Amino acid sequence: MAQNNNAERADIALSLGLGANATRTRHWKHWLGWTFLVIAFAAGALWWMSRDTSSAVQYRTQPAKRGEITISVTATGNLQPINQVDVGSELSGIIKSVEADFNSQVKAGQVLARLDTAKLEALRQQLQAAVAAAQARVLQTQATIAEANGQLARLRHVHELSGGKVPSLQDIDAADAALKRAQADEANARAAVAQAQASLHASETDLAKAVIRAPINGIVLKRAVEPGQTVAASLQAPVLFTLAENLTQMELHVNVDEADVGKVAAGQHATFSVDAYPDRTYPARITEVRYGSQTVQGVVTYEALLNADNADLSLRPGMTATADITVKKIENVLLVPNAALRFTPPAAHDQAATGGGSLLTKLLPRPPRSASKKGDAASGARRRQVVWTLSEGQPIAIAVKTGSTDGAMTEIVDGKIEAGVEVLVDTIAPKK
């Protein structure tokens, strides 16, 4: 009975196609389905990568134009008077009076301050007495000379009258020696007079220096002394006043970076501004570029001096200024925006990223290049300069040779580009 049932089932399966052939058919259908999915994915990827991206991107352009380009160097520094003088005292003492204050306009020779001169006056009187005593000593020696000269003359006369018998030659020689000693005393007395007069002159000079006077015409910038203050000038002269000769002409001292100092030279024009007047610029001219360097926090700079007019006295000593020095100016040259030299269209980016080539290459990218090859390619990209323009809606690269730049525009020295050509500087947005 069981065998009959199994035979019936086998006949039914054979009739319905449920045997081994049916199993193989199901496997083929399964693989065909996966193959279709892979082909559909590849076709979609091919369409995505090969679609016309340029039609989906809009570009912002600017025209190449002819004009002038100005190259400038920026430096900062401080304003100072052209001639600034520190006035001090050679003498020590107590300040008796101060006769000038901050911002006082002074003339050369005007009294600024006075020292107490009581001791100096007493010393001068003492030296005057010494001069008088020395002069009296001269008169005394002159009288001695006259007496010795008369005595010698009498002895010689008697010697002639006596026929050489009296007085003796020894007496005559003694009288002659006495005369010479008297003459020497006179010379010594006269030297003492000169010495006393020199001491008196030094004392009078100190008295004159006890009055502090302005050495120049100008304005008082600083006053560092008060009445009653003791001034000690033992080692160096203390500074009592600081004067500026003429504030209508100022000098700007700026620090130029070592990378820019080769471009800066005397005679170049500049403009500068100060924080006190941010909306105003002042003209200036370089008068000197000093060879001595300064190193501050590892940065090497060189000091340059600029002469500036300050007729309205708006500028003050010590103000911090930022100067733009014009080092080069070129007229009637072809210019393109710096953004055009930095711009690369998205299509070029994608091609560079994928390496171009066939679908197989895009789906199966090559292994990355070695570091040295990448470095060489980057170096070559830096050496090449290109700008992009549109031709029939497609970005076209134009090789150019660049010259000077002011940070916004760059001079085109050589290349197949003319004034008026629209160059690509940026993308706007893809079309939806």
Closest CA to 250 of 326, 324, 305: 305
Whole-angstrom Cα distance, residue 124 to residue 130?
Answer: 10
Whole-angstrom Cα distance, residue 121 to residue 93?
Answer: 13
Lowest mean pLDDT among 4-8, 132-136, 167-171, 192-196: 4-8
**What SS3 state is found at 131?**
helix
Mean pLDDT of 127-156: 95
At 378, the pLDDT band (50, 70, 90 cuts) reads very low
Q: Give the number of other Cβ atoms within 10 Å of residue 196's Cβ.
A: 20
pLDDT in tens, 410-426: 999 988 899 999 999 99
> What's the token pair of residue 87?
């006035």
pLDDT > 90? residue 275: yes
Residue pair 421/64 in contact by the 8 Å Cβ criterion: yes
At 429, the pLDDT band (50, 70, 90 cuts) reads low
**Most confident segment among 70-74, 246-250, 281-285:** 281-285
Mean pLDDT of 275-288: 96
Whole-angstrom Cα distance, residue 130 to residue 83?
Answer: 44
pLDDT at 369 (0 to 100): 47
pLDDT at 368 (0 to 100): 47
Closest CA to 329 of 75, 72, 74: 72
At 164, the pLDDT band (50, 70, 90 cuts) reads confident
Q: Which one is predicted more confidently, 98 or 427?
A: 98
The domain defined by 55-66+334-430 folds into 2.40.420
pLDDT at 25 (0 to 100): 58
User: Over pLDDT 70: what percentage of the chain?
Assistant: 79
- pTM attached to this predicted model: 0.65
Lowest mean pLDDT among 13-22, 226-235, 371-380: 371-380
CA distances from 306 to 73, 127, 287, 320 (A): 14, 53, 6, 13
pLDDT at 374 (0 to 100): 41
pLDDT at 358 (0 to 100): 46
At 236, the pLDDT band (50, 70, 90 cuts) reads confident
Which CB contacts under 8 angstroms, 24+ apart, belong to 236-240? Answer: 237/88, 237/89, 237/90, 238/88, 238/89, 239/86, 239/87, 239/88, 240/87, 240/88, 240/89, 240/112, 240/113, 240/212
Which CATH code is given to the segment(s) 84-111+215-245? 2.40.50.100
At 49, the pLDDT band (50, 70, 90 cuts) reads low
| 218-223 sheet: strands from edge to edge | 84-88, 239-244, 218-223, 105-106
What DSSP state is assigned to residue 415?
E
pLDDT at 8 (0 to 100): 56
pLDDT in tens, 355-368: 554 444 444 444 44
pLDDT at 29 (0 to 100): 64
pLDDT > 50? residue 371: no
Whole-angstrom Cα distance, residue 362 to residue 351?
Answer: 10
pLDDT at 121 (0 to 100): 95
At 166, the pLDDT band (50, 70, 90 cuts) reads confident
Looking at domain 72-82+249-330, what is its CATH homologous superfamily?
Answer: Efflux pump adaptor protein, beta barrel domain (2.40.30.170)
pLDDT in tens, 310-344: 999 999 999 999 999 999 999 999 999 999 999 98
pLDDT at 376 (0 to 100): 41
Mean pLDDT estimate for the chain:
84
pLDDT > 70? residue 53: no
pLDDT in tens, 25-40: 556 666 776 677 777 7
Domain parsing of the chain, residue ranges: 2-50, 55-66+334-430, 72-82+249-330, 84-111+215-245, 117-209
Q: Residue 283: which residues within 8 A CB-CB, separation 6 or more?
A: 269, 270, 271, 308, 309
> What's the token pair of residue 302?
């060189």
pLDDT in tens, 379-388: 444 446 899 9
